[in-house]
Structure 1
Amino acid sequence: MSPATAAEPKKRSLAPWQNAVSGATAGVISRFVIAPLDVIKIRFQLQTEELRLSRIRGGEVPAQVKYRGLAQSFTRIIREEGLRGLWKGNLSAEYLYLGYGAAQFYAYPEYERLLNRTTQYLNFKLPTEIVASLAGALAGCTATVATYPFDLLRTRFAVQGQHGPYSGLVDAIRQIAGKEGLPGFYRGVWPSMLQMMPQTGIVFASFSFFKKHLDGLKAGGMKDFISGGLAGMVGKAAVMPFDVVRKRLQVQGPERNSYVVGDVPRYPKGFLRCCRQIARYEGILALYKGLLPSLLKSGPSAAVTFLVVGACQKAFAAVDGVERQ
């Protein structure tokens, strides 16, 4: 934001609820766009075959591997589960993205203001990218805790077959609560926190960096779109092992052998112990399973998110005569 000068009155910022509505709108739209890639990514991440660099280079995939590549996975899911299979878990995921987007974009400017006030009080100034990174990390942590049960539900729905253990959202909540208790809704929450704090921080810092260097681009909202897409891919690549571990832990529980990816091994709760078990039996590269669909998902998702958030904030600013943050 441009500082107010002595000659002009200080402009009001957008209200927190307006930032929340902007984030929620962006979350719902971006989720629908990237849902099929998310389903495929999760299924890649939960397959337990060994992954070696020589196999990737040579294009060799063991015959027993169910999902082998993007095109083959799309085709197989549609053939076995119908077109709707590509949007499995989308209802819980829409709740997740709506809540996560609202919480994230509500919290981000509040943390940003708090950090700026704190550094001003202590009489030093942090670079814009550092403030964006710290505020983004704190906002990501807040949003993750607030919406984590929907993330777990999204994962379980994404990997259940035609006759999976859960008949719907209400049934899933009832079964998990009855069989696993409240902790069942938070399986894998610590790897998720370890992932989302740096990832969100990196995304917001990268977005700020790319947007600043695209100031010469005269393309309106495309600056938000391009900066968001690049930032999303950078952030996801940086924390991919956390995402794989999180998915493995989310499908633990009494129904872990009821999913379309086959029998899911039992994993220890700790992040490092789970990493060691995956690396030991599947190779270190297994911690990057699903990277390609994840990058293809994260780029458009972040691009659409920042584009829609920017458009919503501009609309609110135009109506209220306030300054966009």
Structure 2
Amino acid sequence: MSATPQSVRDKNPPTKPRLAPWQNALCGATAGVVSRFVIAPLDVIKIRFQLQTDVIGMTGRVDASQSKYRGVFQSCGRILHEEGYRGLWKGNLSAEYLYLSYGAVQFYAYYEFEGLINRAKRKLDLPLPTEMLAGALAGSAATLTTYPFDLLRTRFAVQGTKGPYTGLVQAVRQIHAAEGIKGFYRGVWPSVLQMMPQMGIVFACYAGFRRALERFELRGIDNFISGGLAGMIGKAAVMPFDVVRKRLQVQGPERNSYVTGHVPSYPRGILACARKIVHHEGYLALYKGLVPAILKSGPSSAVTFLVVGLCERAMS
């Protein structure tokens, strides 16, 4: 059985039984680990773009030569030169924990919410958008559950060769000592507000693309294509929230010790932070890192849905 949303399964009843909730979680966790390793370098580059505070005008970057990271290939080369190949996988340990746990919670929650929504539709006779609602709720649940790993991933991705963090355990201890429990949840609400529409769009688009590709009988490749297209659309739609989230995640006593240079102090509020970014850097600053983000989200989502489909067929 492939990772097909309920509306598609209703039209084409599966020949294999639906998986148990723990199996959905295992499929999501496996997909998360695999997809994270594939897209790690693009994630590092995207985060560094987002944390640069150079001004962007409507016609492009102002004095681009002053920016440390100016493009995907230039940034990749610079990281390799200054930090070695390991620099492209900075924060990967915490990110693997993030993707493993996020994938598990997301796909567990998605199918549970999908069932609840479909039962509500039948009982109340309401035209609810099943895939979008289930995806939005699952994304929110997964984000809240795994957020500390997301923050750690961001901070590791932008630190230099000398720290300030030497390892995952040491980072947890240092953040807790200097910032308290709240330190692990800096930027959590922009993250939730980002992931609700993003995952709703992703699952809805995935279902639509799957239906369009069904007649071609691509034997699993339709999962890959549909997931990739859905991931790119979903990411582009919520990019400003992602930029605000990254700026808030690196606040704290170490904010000026990262390789992107000086990071301004931002207010905790989402709108206040966004206004300050726009005031100093222009409106297009809310889309910093868009190219590597799309290049990352497409393959990540494609691999995720492909691996979930393969795992589900193996377990059915």
- Which category of TM-score, normalised to the shorter sequence, fits these structures? over 0.9
Deviation, 1:216, is: 1.8
Q: Identify the match of residue 111 of structure 1 among 113, 121, 141.
A: 113
Aligned to 1:30: 35
- Aligned equivalents of 2:253 and 2:222: distance in 1? 47
* Aligned-pair CA distance for 1:159: 0.1
Could you tell me which amino acid in structure 2 is paired with residue 279 of structure 1? V
The Cα shift of 1:4 comes to 9.8
**Within 5 Å, which residues of 2 pair with 1:11-30?**
12-30=17-35
Q: Distance in 2 between matches of 1:13 and 1:221?
A: 17
Residue 100 of structure 1, aligned match among 95, 99, 102: 102
Q: Contact 1:55–1:61 (CA<8 Å) still a contact in 2?
A: no
How many angstroms does 1:123 deviate by?
2.8
Is 2:271 aligned against 1:272?
yes
Q: Residue type of the partner of 1:80? A: E
Structure-2 residue corresponding to 1:49: 54
Residues 4 and 241 of structure 1: CA distance in aligned 2, closer, same or farther (over 3 Å): closer
Partner of 2:204: 205
Distance in 2 of aligned mates of 1:295 and 1:161: 25
Q: Check 1:291–1:33 CA distance in 2 against 1; reply closer, same or farther (3 A cut).
A: same
Matches within 5 A, 1:14-163: 14-55=19-60, 61-126=63-128, 130-163=129-162
Q: Distance in 1 between matches of 2:24 and 2:224?
A: 18
In 2, the alpha carbon distance for the partners of 1:181 and 1:210 equals 44
What is aligned with 1:282? Answer: 281
Residue 215 of structure 1 and its aligned partner are, at CA, apart by 1.1
Q: Secondary structure at the match of 2:265?
A: coil
Match status 1:172 vs 2:174: no
For residues 74-133 of structure 1, the C-alpha deviation after alignment (integer angstroms, 9 at most, x for no partner) is 00000000000000000000000000000000000100000011111113443xxx2100
Deviations 1:24-82 (A, max 9, x none): 000000000000000000000000000113235xxx64332100111110000000000
- 1:320 is aligned to none
Q: RMSD value over aligned CA atoms? A: 1.6
> Structure 2 CA distance, aligned partners of 1:89 and 1:133?
31
Structure 1: 5+ residue runs without aligned partners? 318-325
Distance 1:54 1:124 in 2: 46
TM-score, length of structure 2 as denominator length:
0.95
Deviation at 1:217, TM superposition (A): 1.9
- Alpha-carbon contact 1:4-1:11 (below 8 Å) kept: no
Unaligned runs of 5+ in 2: 1-8
- The alpha-carbon distance between structure 1 residues 4 and 47, as it changes in their structure 2 partners (threshold 3 A), is closer
Match of 2:5?
Answer: none
Call closer, same or farther: CA 1:43–1:3 in 2, change over 3 Å: closer
Q: Per the alignment, in what secondary structure is the counterpart of residue 216 of structure 1? A: helix
SS at 2:64 equivalent: coil
Structure 1 220/3 Cα, relative in aligned 2: closer, same or farther at 3 Å? Answer: closer
* Residue 271 of structure 1, CA deviation: 0.5
CA distance, structure 1, for counterparts of residue 74 and residue 63 of structure 2: 12
Amino acid at match of 1:230: L
Distance 1:246 1:40 in 2: 16
| Paired residues for 1:305-324 under 5 Å | 305-317=304-316
- Taking the aligned partners of 1:87 and 1:42, their CA distance within structure 2 comes to 12
Tell me, in whole angstroms, the C-alpha distance in 2 between the residues paired with 1:157 and 1:228.
28
